[in-house]
Structure formats: structure tokens, C-alpha cells
Amino acid sequence: MDREIGFIGLGSMGLPMVLNLLKSNLKVKVYNRTPEKARDAVAAGAQQMDRAADVATVGGIVITMVSNDKALEEVVFEKDGIGKKLGVGGIHLSMSTVSPKTSRKLASYHEQQGSYYVASPVFGRPEAASAQKLFLLSSGHRDAKERVKPLQNALGQQVFDISEEPGGANVIKLGGNFMIMAAMEAMAESFNLAEKNGIDRQLAAEVYASTLFNCTVYQGYGQMIAKKSFEPAGFQLSLGFKDCNLVLDEANSTKTPMPLASLLHDRLLASIAKGRETHDWSALARVASEEAGLE
Amino acid sequence: MDREIGFIGLGSMGLPMVLNLLKSNLKVKVYNRTPEKARDAVAAGAQQMDRAADVATVGGIVITMVSNDKALEEVVFEKDGIGKKLGVGGIHLSMSTVSPKTSRKLASYHEQQGSYYVASPVFGRPEAASAQKLFLLSSGHRDAKERVKPLQNALGQQVFDISEEPGGANVIKLGGNFMIMAAMEAMAESFNLAEKNGIDRQLAAEVYASTLFNCTVYQGYGQMIAKKSFEPAGFQLSLGFKDCNLVLDEANSTKTPMPLASLLHDRLLASIAKGRETHDWSALARVASEEAGLE
Amino acid sequence: MDREIGFIGLGSMGLPMVLNLLKSNLKVKVYNRTPEKARDAVAAGAQQMDRAADVATVGGIVITMVSNDKALEEVVFEKDGIGKKLGVGGIHLSMSTVSPKTSRKLASYHEQQGSYYVASPVFGRPEAASAQKLFLLSSGHRDAKERVKPLQNALGQQVFDISEEPGGANVIKLGGNFMIMAAMEAMAESFNLAEKNGIDRQLAAEVYASTLFNCTVYQGYGQMIAKKSFEPAGFQLSLGFKDCNLVLDEANSTKTPMPLASLLHDRLLASIAKGRETHDWSALARVASEEAGLE
Amino acid sequence: MDREIGFIGLGSMGLPMVLNLLKSNLKVKVYNRTPEKARDAVAAGAQQMDRAADVATVGGIVITMVSNDKALEEVVFEKDGIGKKLGVGGIHLSMSTVSPKTSRKLASYHEQQGSYYVASPVFGRPEAASAQKLFLLSSGHRDAKERVKPLQNALGQQVFDISEEPGGANVIKLGGNFMIMAAMEAMAESFNLAEKNGIDRQLAAEVYASTLFNCTVYQGYGQMIAKKSFEPAGFQLSLGFKDCNLVLDEANSTKTPMPLASLLHDRLLASIAKGRETHDWSALARVASEEAGLE
């Protein structure tokens, strides 16, 4: 297991992950665009660097956990980025939720440099990150996936090896977000039917979440949709919309009709037209309620 | 707790339920349209009667677990039915999956006779029935619901009190079946996207069912949809279509637009047009695969 | 050509049709549930009768133009209805917009009496009826269709022989109404896209209605949808919803998935949930506008 | 009226347009990427040039009619393109079907050069172009639109002034193509319902196209959809899919939910997944037929 690594991105997900790596007695060099956000990591023993490139060592491993495709490309391609620095045998372990296309592009670039790209998006919220309960997906070159596995295990409860094709893990991550939104719409319509029949929405949510659907997605979002309480956002609707568009892009390029994804797209777009981009993504449920005359 | 009860309907669900009642030392009179099907119940101690009415005693309780709305109405309204026999204070505990409308109609009829109707559809398959692991929903008159509760507890792991309005439990049951079908369509589209990206469908199913969606619906149906293996049917597609139409009827009469239910309706109708009414209802997933050119 | 006929239903469509028959020098006996509505027809020479049965003569022809399936069944089946009276060789020429099922039921009944049923719904508004510009569809027994043709010609500009199966003409009529609603939704979405791009909605309507879509449906409804002006109703939204449900019923029973009809159903149901059942059916366009944040 | 103009793009639409300009006694310099395609234009009096830039004169007018956004950008931006050549006061009259975004980008570029961009996509097939029966849309700077009007009149029967915003005409053009596809899907579903009821599809098509929908779109495509005859393509399905995606892009960027466009998108994508990209775009109708078990 590598004992020294670089880590870029100290947001609500990245910070608890770094803390867990430090607990595992790793030496971690960190970089964050807004330097102030590195404070807690430094206090816990991380070494803060001024430039992205500085967290990388030739042949080493750098984990990235940034906010979107653009931010990810920047920390690789910009002048002080990790792209040229990782060198032969280095590994870019990319945990952000980005498009399969971005992963393919970066994988191809790293290959030209003699380094590796492993896509490793995660399922789990910040609390899961803290508790080392994340699920990690993994796609990329076999050897590189093998080498980063101990690091992934230090960050979560299980690692799924998806494919050698670098975009595979991102496809599964996007597919998961799509399935979450589908569950939300199903709950929205079902709870409305209950309400229209004089049944308490929260009771309906509770019944489903403790019988057929006793899993986190239905439990957590079920309560929000039942209570019609969508602020503050755990995950912003605008980000859900971005992911839904990525799903539809991938559907287009692989010739996979997804009418349920189209329906969700239209729900999210209506939500945005109504000014709800900063609400939680479960607020997509409000469109169904409005159509039913319930708001 | 009532110690003697009547039970009508000894199919794959009814039989294990009767066996559990006998184990709880109740005296059970049973009736089944096809008398031969009563054999196992009789062997376990039930007393077989020749006519539906014979399992009822004035002021007693009769449980019904029959195949559809029509069969249910028959055992109540026909000449030798339980309708007139239950008398003042009797309770019809109706566990079949029927429409809210049928429950409302029967409740109103029983009220005229001085008896009660409690709708109590269940979540769970025959194995769950055997293991006393059913979940039971309950709607109807407060006193009647209270009186049948010990019986319900003898049959399952939890009882949910939905409403006094008699159709409420059926609305929740239908809403649950709708949500199951929505999950199936979401998996169908998501697994297709994975397959088109070169990812093993079963791996995709396994990832989702052990992370975000670690609950029975996704685990069981996920495997079927991943393997595209839809026979023999656990629950026939034609029955899913019937339930979907009941959902849309209820949506119409309560003015609740449900576009996801409409989408599922169209998937199921296409499946039937293609001759798949006897396949498992998860076979609705095949339409998405065909549209993607994957079959 | 028959010179004496009966006519039931003197609403906004029926009255101008009777006037045209009188102009063709026919002797017309009329009946209307609300007798006062017969005044103009009587003033023009029609003979008013007290009961539906009285407008029928054995072996003669009765035209019905009533408001819905129920009203149609009543004038046939009720005690003083035309059902028993028409006798051997009589023809019931049914011009109301009813379901194929109702036509099949009535055709079967009339056949038992030795009389005929010809379904003959029309395309056209009251003004077209006045101007003898209706289009008439025709389905039923060959001989009966032949015999009523001169009467149909006296009422419109063209007759289309659809099928011997009695419900055929109703299927085509419903299909037409479905296609009108589809055109409305297409215009609604297209005009919204124009408006969001700063283009005048009425200009957009005018461009389409004078180029690609220079036909009545787009011209008339295009202006209403562009101006968002939906009252008073030419044809009430609740009637459009009824027809849409008839389309979906027929789709169900013939195994014909119609996702566009499902979409329209959900638009209309949302409109009704929002209290617009008495607006013009083109008001279904408002749902798209609301989703776009344009209302 | 300008008497000398440049013309780029001599495909099935461009050639008849050039011939009409020559008939109006204009002097026309032409350029086509594949030089051989200029033969007929030259035979009719056009002067063929070797480079795009050569058809432009400073302050003059150049009409472009090329196959897509990329081809259009090339003839403007490439080294020998018209971009720098048109100079102050020149006008680029752009008749290709391209995205509003491309028009906005080119308009902005031309403005920097002191020249003008007028978007002027057309409605009409090659036969309409030959017969001077095109309809032309026009968006861009007021003065430039005024100056090109005589040229537009020499090419078609009517010009619609859409907006000063340069993308407006493209929005209307895309909206029209969307509405055509919506009409196709409506016909597909309606004809299937007729067929399932034993009614001849061509009869159904004829009834609608000579009554409610007596306009070209329903007449022409109605016959194709009724006969299920989709080859050879008048307009390829892959181009319809491209336009549908442009509509959805524009819908996204202007926050305009268009569920009917989403439905069409999914129909077209399924058609492509089944290998029908070179069929006529009306072949989208086959998906509905397949779902109904009619193929």
C-alpha cells in the first residue's frame, strides 16, 4: 500500500475522506482552490500545498474529489495541474461525479503520459464518508485498480470493480442517480394518490419505507416528499438536472431510449423554470403535486 | 381474541395463512370454490364447509383471500354467500388485492346488514405468508379494526392502520404495486445503459441492490431483469396490468395526474400486445430492451 | 330516398341539421328531452312529438344527435324509446359522438329487433352543420348505409364509408379528436419555445397556420393557444377528457399502446384538477405554459 | 435590389434556388465544395468560383444553403471563407437549417466585421424550391432584412419577419419540424387504433387528410405512415433526430419543458437503435406499430 498520497478537493466529501486517510497513518499532501478550506485537514496532520501539481509525485497517487467536470479538467490540464507531473506509473484516482466522457478523455490523456486514470465515484453522503461507509465504484486499467484498492478500502465499506473501460464507473454512478430520481417521482405520485384519498402522506411514506422499500433512498427522501420539505438542500436540484442531462447524453450516444429519464428531465426542467434550482433535488416531486392541484 | 373464524380462499397465499391460524390454536372453518384445494388445510385441522355462508357465524369473523374483485363479490353476494349470514356485529376481514371501489361497495353493503368490512390487503409473497412475515394494511371502522388485530398479528409481522375510509388500505396496496413497477422500469433502463457501455448487467444489478437500493424489490426483481429471465411468473404481468389500470382509474376519479403510471401502463400494454401476459410482471423490462435494439 | 324521418336531439348541432333536412323538403318529426328547444325547428316546419318513440315509424329512419352515451341509450332503451318501435327494416342513424362499445351494443340490440344501427358521427362545428359542410362517417350494415346516404348528403359535404363493423366510425371519430388534442399540445410546446426566445406567440401561430399547417385545426386552435384565451368554450375540456378516456379504453381493449394519448390524458387530468373542466379543451395548453413558468 | 450575389451550396435545395435567381436576371457566382455539383447551375448561366470567399464582394450579399451547422461554420470561418471577405455592409443570408446557437454565434461574428447576418431558413421541399413556392423565415438586423427581401421574394411565395434576434427564425424552423414529427406520431397511434379495429389504414389516413387535417403534412406523411412505406427517404430520420435534439437543447437553455418533444426523441432514438437512421423520418411511426404487435 502506498503510504504517501496527494488529495485535491476539500469540500464536504473530500475533507472527511482526508481525515480517514490520516487516521490510517498515511501521509497526505492536500490542495484546495480556496486555501482556507484546508484548515481542518492541516490541523489533523495533512500538508497543504500551493499548487495542484505539488501534491503529485512522479509515479505516485493523487485522489481528486472536486465539484464538476470543469474543475476536474482544470486540476489536470492547467499549467500547475497534475497532468504532466504524475509521470510514468502515476495514478489519478478520480472520485468526483463526472461524465463518462470526461473520464474517457482524461484516461486517454494520462495514458499518453504513461500514467493511469481510475474512475472511482462513490455512493454516500458526507456522513457516510466520515463513518468510512462509502461504496466505491472502480473502472480503469487492471493493475492501477489493484494498486489503489487499499486506499479505497480505507475510505469506504466496499469497492465494486465495474470495468476496464474508464467510463464504466461513471455510467453506474449516473445510473444510480437516475434510479434515485425515479424513486422520488414514484413516491411523489403515490403519495399524492394517498393524499387525494384522505390518507396521511407521512403514514404512506412510513408504510412503504418499512415494508417493500426498507432502504435508505426511500426512507430519507420519502420523508422529505411526504412533508413537502425541500430546503435546505442535501443535493441541489440543479446538480440532479446536470446528472439527468448526462444520463440522456450517454443514452443518446449509446442508442438507449430511456423514457423514464425523459420524464424526470421534464420534471426537473419544470422545477428550474419555476425557480427551484437551489432546492433539494427531491423537490422534483412538487411538479406532480401542482398538477394534482395540491399546492 | 376470537377463537373461531371462517376463512375463504385457499390459494398459494390463503393456505399458509390458515396453517398459521391453526398453529395459533384457532378453530378454522374453511371454504374454497374448488374443494380439493382444502385438503392440506383439513389435514392440519381445519374444518371444510360446502358453502361460503357455512364458514360464517352470526357476529363472527370471516377472512377472505380470493383472486380478484369478482370472486370477492361472489362470496359475499351470491345466494350462499357470507353477506346475509354475518349478521349484526360480524366482520368481513378482506385480504385480497381488490380495488378501493370494491371495498367501498362492500363496506357500504355490510354496514346495511349491521356487520363490518375491514380491508386488509397484504405485502408479501407465499413464503412470507408461511413465515408469518406478512405486512398487513388495515382500513375500516375503528372498533372492527381493533377486534381483528390479534388475528392479523397471527398472520404477519406488522399491521398498519391506514384509515377509517374502507378503501384506504387498497389505495396503499395499489400504490405499492405501482412503485414496484416503477422500480422495475428504472432498473430496465439503467441496466440497458450499463449493457450498452459494455458493463455486465448482473454486476450492475448487484451494485445497486447492495448499496443504494438494498431492499427486497430491487434485489429480487433486479436479478430477473438483469438476466432477462421472466418465466415462470411469480406474479403474472396480466395481474400487474390489472393493478396499473386500477391505479389509473383511482387517479382519474381523484384528479391525480400520474405520468409515471401512464408510462408503466404503456409498457405493460405493449408487453400484452406482444403476448407476454403470462410472464412475470418484471417482463415489462423487455420493452425498453427491444427499443434499445438489445433483443 | 326516405321522405319522412324522425330526429332526436335539438342541441347546437341537431337544430341546424333539422333545418337542412326541412329545406330538402323532408317531413321531420322531432323530439327533444327539453321540449322548449324544439321551438325553432317547429317554426321551420318540423312536427314536435312528446315521446322519443313517437318520431319512429315501423321500418322508418330515426336520426339521433344527443349529448353522450347515456342519453343515447336512454332514447333507445327507455319505456318510450325508439328501440322496440323501429321494427323490422327500421334504421337508427346515430350521429352522436359515443364510444365504439356503445355502438356495438346498440347494433346488437337493433339486430335482435330486425332493425339496423348505422353509426355516423360527424366532423364539424355548428356553423359547418348550418352550412351543410359536415363530414359524415358511416359504419354498419351495407344495405342500411346505402339507404341513409341521401340523408347524410343532405346534411354534409362528404360521407366516408368506414366499415361494416358498427363501431368503426366511432373509432375514426375518436381518433380524430385525439389527433386534434395532439396538435394542440404540439402548438402549446412550440409556442412556449417561441415565447421564451422572445418571439410573439401569435406570429408563431400565424406562420405555422399559413405554411406547413394551413388547415382549420391549426388555424382556429392556434389563435386560441397563442392568445391563451380559452373561454368561452367551443368544446368543453371535460368532453375532451371523456373522449381521451374512450380512446384509452379502446386502446386497452385492442392492445394498442398510445403514449401520446397517455400524455394528453395527463395534461387534461391536470387541467381538471386545476378546475378548468368548463374551459375550451384547447386549455390543455396551459399546463405546458405553467411548467415553463409562463403563467 | 442587388443584381449580383454569391451563392454557396448547390444541393437538392440550393440548385433550384440558384436557377430561380438566374431566371430573375441576377448575376450569380456559385461555390460548392464538390465542384461537379455546380454543372447545372453553370449551364444555366451561373459563374463557378474555386473558393467560398470568391463568391463574396465587399458590401455584397452571399446566400448559403449547406447541409448542417459545421458546414456553415466552415464556409464562414475557414481560410478561404466568406467571413473576412464580406466586409462593411455585406450580408450573409443564411438559409440552412441550423441551430439558433449557430446563428447567434455567426451574427455576433459578422457584427464584429461590420457585416450582417440574416437567418432565413425555409419551409418546403425541393419541388417547392423549383416552383418558387418556398416559405422563408427571416431574423436579424432590420436594415439587412429589408435589403434581402427582394431576393427572398424571388425564391418563394412568402417571407415571415420573425425577430431582430438572429436565432429567431431558426427557433421557428425547429418548432415546425417538431410539430411535423408530433403529427406523425399522432397519425401512427391513430392509424394503429384503426387497424386494430379492422379499419383500413389508408382509408383512415384519407379521411383525416381530407377533413380535419387537409394540409400537406398530413396528406403526404399520412400516406407513408398508412402504407408503412419509409424508403427512399425524403428527409432522413437521422436529420430529424438531429433537429429533435436541437429542439431539446433550446428547451433546456430557455427552461421550457416539452414532454411531447421528449416522447418524439425517444421514438427517434429507438428507430436509430433499430438501424433506421437512413429511412424517412416518418419511420418513427414504426415504433408505435411494433409496440402494438403489428410488425
Check if the beta carbon of residue B187 is closer than 8 Å to that of residue B164.
no
Tell which C residues from 12 to 71 touch A, by Cβ distance under 8 Å.
none
Q: Is the pLDDT of residue A1 over 90?
A: no
Q: How many CB pairs below 8 A link A and C?
A: 26
Q: What DSSP designation does B37 have?
A: G
Consecutive H or E run containing D93: strand D91-94
Q: Which of D29, D173, D196, D255 is catalytic?
A: D173
Helix axis angle, C14-23 relative to C142-155, nearest 10°?
90
Complex confidence, ipTM: 0.96
Rounded Cα gap, residues B159 and C192, in angstroms: 49
Residue of C287, B143, A222 lying closest to D257 (CA atoms): C287
**Total length of chain D:** 295
Q: D159 to chain C: nearest residue by CA?
A: C207
Residue of B38, B117, B33, B110 lying closest to B75 (CA atoms): B33
The whole-number average pLDDT for the span A90-97 is: 97
Consecutive H or E run containing B157: strand B156-163
Name the burial class of residue B214, with classes exposed (0-12), middle (13-18) and buried (19+) by CB atoms within 10 angstroms of its CB. middle
Indicate the residue of C182, C198, C258 with minimum beta-carbon distance to D182: C182
Interface test with A, best of B256, B263, B265, B295 (most A CBs within 10 A): B256
| Residue B1 in contact with partner chain C when CB distance is under 8 A | no
Tell which B residues from 219 to 248 touch C, by Cβ distance under 8 Å.
245
Per-residue pLDDT of chain C (295 residues), as tens digits, is 788 999 999 999 999 999 999 999 999 999 999 999 999 999 999 999 999 999 999 999 999 999 999 999 999 999 999 999 999 999 999 999 999 999 999 999 999 999 999 999 999 989 999 999 999 999 999 999 999 999 999 999 999 999 999 999 999 999 999 999 999 999 999 999 999 999 999 999 999 999 999 999 999 999 999 999 999 999 999 999 999 999 999 999 999 999 999 999 999 999 999 999 999 999 999 999 999 999 8
Consecutive H or E run containing D137: strand D134-140
Q: Return the C-alpha cell found at D287.
A: 415504433
* C266 contacts B255? CB cut-off 8 A: no
- D135 forms bridges with which residues in the sheet? D123, D158
Q: Return the C-alpha cell found at A243.
A: 446528472
- Distance, in angstroms, between C203 CA and closest chain B CA? 32
Rounded Cα gap, residues B244 and A14, in angstroms: 44
Rounded Cα gap, residues D86 and D61, in angstroms: 8
C292: chain A residues, CB-CB within 8 Å: 270, 273
Q: Which residues contact B65 (CB under 8 A, 6 or more apart)?
A: B7, B8, B9, B11, B13, B14, B17, B95, B96
Rounded Cα gap, residues A110 and A104, in angstroms: 10
* A259 contacts D266? CB cut-off 8 A: yes
* A252 contacts D270? CB cut-off 8 A: no
Give the residue, D287 or B67, on which the prediction is more confident: D287
pLDDT, residue B121, reads: 98
D273: chain B residues, CB-CB within 8 Å: 291-293
Q: B63 φ, ψ to 5°?
A: -95, 135
pLDDT, tens digit, for every residue of C39-88? 999 999 999 999 999 999 999 999 999 999 999 999 999 999 999 999 99
pLDDT by 10-residue block (mean), chain B, 295 residues: 93 96 97 95 97 97 96 96 96 96 98 97 95 98 97 97 98 98 98 98 98 96 97 94 97 98 98 98 98 95
pLDDT, residue A123, reads: 96
Tell which A residues from 248 to 267 touch D, by Cβ distance under 8 Å.
251-252, 255-259, 262-263, 265-267
Q: State the Rg of chain D over Cα.
A: 20
Q: Is the pLDDT of residue A295 over 90?
A: no
* B258 contacts A197? CB cut-off 8 A: no
| Residue B193 in contact with partner chain D when CB distance is under 8 A | no
Rounded Cα gap, residues D295 and D278, in angstroms: 19
Helix axis angle, C201-210 relative to C216-227, nearest 10°?
180
Per-residue confidence band for A218, with pLDDT thresholds at 50, 70 and 90: very high
- CA distances to B191, C79, D46, D184 from A173, in Å: 12, 68, 58, 36
CATH fold of B4-164: Rossmann fold (3.40.50)
pLDDT, tens digit, for every residue of D90-104? 999 999 999 999 999
Consecutive H or E run containing C139: strand C134-140
How many whole angstroms from its chain centre is CA C76? 19
Rounded Cα gap, residues B160 and B162, in angstroms: 6
- C31 forms bridges with which residues in the sheet? C8
Indicate the residue of A172, A190, A215 with minimum beta-carbon distance to B214: A215
Q: A188 to chain B: nearest residue by CA?
A: B258
Q: A204 to chain B: nearest residue by CA?
A: B172
Residue of B238, B235, B230 lying closest to B269 (CA atoms): B238
Domain with CATH 3.40.50.720 in chain B: 4-164
Domain with CATH 1.10.1040.10 in chain C: 171-291
Q: What DSSP designation does A32 have?
A: -
In the numeric block, the cell 379543451 is attached to C281
Rounded Cα gap, residues C252 and B112, in angstroms: 36
What are the residue numbers of the active site of C? 173
Check if the beta carbon of residue D119 is closer than 8 Å to that of residue D147.
no
Neighbours of chain C (3+ CB pairs under 8 A): A, B, D
Neighbours of chain B (3+ CB pairs under 8 A): A, C, D
Q: A208 to chain B: nearest residue by CA?
A: B176
CATH fold of A171-291: N-(1-d-carboxylethyl)-l-norvaline Dehydrogenase; domain 2 (1.10.1040)
In the numeric block, the cell 391536470 is attached to C270
Q: How many CB pairs below 8 A link B and C?
A: 40
Check if the beta carbon of residue D254 is closer than 8 Å to that of residue C197.
yes
DSSP assignments along D230-267, one per residue: --S-SSBHHHHHHHHHHHHHHHHHHT---HHHHHHHHH
Q: Which of A23, A27, A173, A227 is catalytic?
A: A173
Q: Return the C-alpha cell found at B237.
A: 404481468
pLDDT, residue C239, reads: 94
* D251 contacts A273? CB cut-off 8 A: no
pLDDT, tens digit, for every residue of D27-68? 999 999 999 999 999 999 999 999 999 999 999 999 999 999
- CA distances to A203, B139, B252 from B165, in Å: 15, 6, 19
Rounded Cα gap, residues B36 and B269, in angstroms: 35
* B259 contacts A196? CB cut-off 8 A: no
Asked whether the CA dihedral C209, C278, C256, A194 is positive or negative, the reply is positive
Q: How many CB pairs below 8 A link A and B?
A: 201
Residue of A44, C174, C143 lying closest to D208 (CA atoms): C174
pLDDT, tens digit, for every residue of A122-160? 999 899 999 999 999 999 999 999 999 999 999 999 999
Q: A275 to chain C: nearest residue by CA?
A: C293
- CA distances to C219, D82, D125, D205, D219 from C212, in Å: 11, 32, 11, 17, 11
* B292 contacts A256? CB cut-off 8 A: yes
- C161 forms bridges with which residues in the sheet? C138
D186: chain C residues, CB-CB within 8 Å: 178-179, 182-183, 260
Mean pLDDT over all residues of chain D? 97
Q: D274 to chain A: nearest residue by CA?
A: A255
Q: A246 to chain B: nearest residue by CA?
A: B193
B260: chain C residues, CB-CB within 8 Å: none
CATH of domain C4-163: 3.40.50.720
* B265 contacts C255? CB cut-off 8 A: no
Interface test with C, best of D162, D212, D218, D244 (most C CBs within 10 A): D212
Check if the beta carbon of residue C8 is closer than 8 Å to that of residue C52.
yes
* A198 contacts B165? CB cut-off 8 A: yes
Q: Which residues contact D261 (CB under 8 A, 6 or more apart)?
A: C189, D178, D244, D247, D248, D251
| Residue A273 in contact with partner chain C when CB distance is under 8 A | yes
* C265 contacts B258? CB cut-off 8 A: no
Rounded Cα gap, residues D127 and A271, in angstroms: 44
